[in-house]
Structure 1
């Protein structure tokens, strides 16, 4: 508690208390660990002291100790091989299908029946499933589909 002009004042919060005199303002408890970090105690004006006391009145900070929660990371995010993503599709039953080779050029010498057969989607062989799934990790595939 501080007394100025015969009046007693109680500190408003844990900030250091100030004494007001006729000519200057001086800091009473400057060596406390929670004291203000000021370059010079002579540069404090009366307005600054009023602002410090008002801010202390308006929002006193309650000391609540909450445990720190650490969230573990899931790991590395897999990347999709974009060239493979353009070449493979998944059917409704979960099979991986692909296009047949041989229908890009030199079509004049291929008969219509052959071109029609090459146009259809063809299922990927079981021996290549691991390679395709490795390139497309987020592909929703039924591994037991035949």
Structure 2
């Protein structure tokens, strides 16, 4: 996430200094431009004497002591990319009340007739995912509320 900082310097001018100088502090020069009467002239748009602002700006009063600067901080890409949940993983894993990631045991889908009852009961219980697999599960399920200290 990149941030851009822009600083703008604003000079304040009191009404007393404004009266002494006679002109507002950021008033640009206004010059008259003579135009010839043709289709490409600005006469047809703005009248006989169009006003054009010059590129030079002057400050009528000297730099004031009480100048203030305004800093604008803008975070680029604040929202960013929203991570997607892996839906197949979301169906296979649950989070317990204490924040542990739980999973089902393998071997309970088919061929159950040859397995005895105790084994089938043991296979039907949920068990905790190994700590070594936590990073893989959390990567697939970024919004899972997991307590990593457990």
- Give the corresponding residue for 1:93: 98
More relative contact order, 1 or 2 (CA 8 Å, 6+ apart) = 2
Identify, as 1 or 2, the structure richer in strand: 2
Q: Determine which of 74, 88, 104 is the counterpart of 2:109.
A: 104
- Give the corresponding residue for 2:119: 114
Q: CA RMSD in A?
A: 2.3
Identify, as 1 or 2, the structure richer in helix: 1
* 1:32 to partner: Cα distance: 2.3
The structure whose Rg is larger is 1
Residue-by-residue CA offset, 1:67-120 (whole Å, 9 max, x unaligned) = xx9664321110111100000000000000000000000000101100000000
Aligned residue runs from structure 1 range 118-137, under 5 A: 118-137=123-142
Cα distance between partner residues in 1 of 2:115 and 2:107 = 10
* 1:31 to partner: Cα distance: 1.3
Structure 2 unmatched runs, 5+: 1-42, 48-72
Whether 1:142 and 2:147 are equivalent positions in the alignment is yes
Cα distance between partner residues in 2 of 1:30 and 1:71 = 46
Cα distance between partner residues in 2 of 1:144 and 1:78 = 23
Tell me the TM-score normalised to structure 1 length: 0.52
Cα distance between partner residues in 2 of 1:76 and 1:121 = 33
